[in-house]
Amino acid sequence: MVYIGMLRKDKTVMICFLILLAAFAVRFGYILTRPVVPLWPDEFYYLEASQNLYSGEGYRVHDAPTAYHPVGYSLFLSLLHFAGFDSVFAFQVAQVFAFLLLLFVLYRFCRILFDERVALVAIFLGAFYPYWIFTPARLLPTTLFTLFLLLATFFLYKKKVNRSQVNAVLAGLFFGISVLMKSTALIVFVSALIWYVFASRERTRQRLTTITILMTLVVVVLAPWLYRNSLVFGKPLLGTNFGYNLWLGSHADANLHSSVNQRAIPESLQKQLSQALNEAERDRIFSRAALREITRSPGEAFLGVLKKSVYFWRPDPSPTTSKHFHSMSLRWISILSVTPLLVFALLGFYSALRNDNTDLYLLVIYIVMFTLVHALFFPKVRFRLPVEIYLFMPAAYFIKVHYSRLRI
């Protein structure tokens, strides 16, 4: 029996290795066959900011201090600069390896929630999912953010299972880094804390100790960034893009089919913005303008959030990508890959929760909170990818349970 168990373990390890190898080959091949050129304004932002960090000029864009995006991803790129990897191609390859680590963590995580077979199916789905073939090639924080958020959630689950405070320390550390990558992770972190309070079987004192450790580590990680912004902008801001994005998503044309960049700034608002001293002031001006529109028609704003929540999970690409990816074949690749994933994941969640796998509730909370937060703004399909990774696990569970002829 021991010998059979060892053979099975060796077979599982080999299959896992082959899936990871195939995942690397597909993404590396994609990078080699695509032009190494940034496409979106955010990519140029991160490149410029990282180069300024590397050269010692600070976190600046267009010759001015910035906090439009949190510093995490630009800091990652600047560290690659320091290591001698200073080309766009090198950045892309580094993100491919980050994605392989993400798949490995997903495998380990899925083994905790389900079993080895489900874990292998989950990483197989992730390895060949079209959006996650494309994403590591883009100079955006999506891959790194997804990795660190997954690591944080993985160690939080491990803390719930074996109660070692080392797992709490690691979870807090990775939650903090996640917020430095994308400030929306703060909402996810708060949701995770609330889930842990109710899901943990620790005594009250131990539970409070864990929560304190998690919160302390997040504060420690964020403190230098918040302190820097206090010095530069006068307030401990996580970022300065809240107001603009809220303004983009608060108007009547922010529907399921319009483009995020189609809204023109009114002359009166332009006049106010021209008098702003820095990004933080501009952010406050946009915030006030957005809140005026929302309070003017709260019912319409609420209906808009519901519509944008649906938009967030559309199976075809966002209209904003049409100028870069207008091929009908790419649109159908998206539809034919996203649709079955959503269906299988929903059925998998339903089946697992019926079988009392209550640990999945945190993943459901993640997905709901991430959807609602982005529905306040102007959600794009790529914004959902960090939580879309969690759909691979229930989808794999559904495939394993309902297709018993699958043998691994």
Contacts of 233 (CB under 8 A, 6+ apart): 65, 67, 240, 278, 279, 280
Number of Cβ atoms within 10 Å of the Cβ of 146: 26
158 and 25 both lie in a single domain: no
* Same-domain pairing of 312 and 384: yes
CB burial class (10 A; 0-12, 13-18, 19+) of residue 101?
Answer: middle
Distance CA 396, CA 148 (A): 22
pLDDT score at 7: 47
Q: Write down which residue in 104, 121, 140 finishes a domain.
A: 140
Q: Do both 106 and 211 map to the same domain?
A: no
* pTM over 0.85, yes/no: yes
Q: Assess whether 106 and 152 both reside in one domain.
A: no
Q: Of 123, 140, 157, which marks where a domain is finished?
A: 140
Instruction: Give the pLDDT of residue 253.
Output: 58
Do 400 and 251 belong to one domain? yes
Domain match, 37 and 184 both: no
Q: State how many domains the chain has.
A: 3
303 and 334 inside one domain? yes
Residue 217 shares a structural domain with residue 247: no
10-residue mean pLDDT series, the chain (408 residues): 53 92 96 79 93 95 94 96 92 96 97 93 96 93 97 95 90 98 95 93 90 97 97 93 88 55 78 89 93 88 88 78 62 90 95 87 94 87 92 95 63
What does the alpha-carbon distance between residue 105 and residue 150 come to, in Å, rounded to a whole number?
7
Residue 334's pLDDT is: 87
- What is the domain range of residue 217? 148-236
Last residue of a domain, one of 105, 140, 175: 140
Q: What's the gap between Cα 30 and its chain centre?
A: 21
Residue 287 sits in the same domain as residue 395: yes
Closest by CA position to 137, among listed 266, 43, 260, 4: 43
Shared domain for 133 and 179, answered yes or no, is no
In a shared domain, residues 193 and 280: no
Residue 345: which of 404, 311, 388, 380 has the closest Cα? 388
User: What pLDDT is attached to residue 3?
Assistant: 46
Same domain, 295 and 220: no
Task: Identify the burial level of 279 via C-beta atoms within 10 angstroms of its C-beta, where 0-12 means exposed, 13-18 middle and 19 or more buried.
Answer: buried
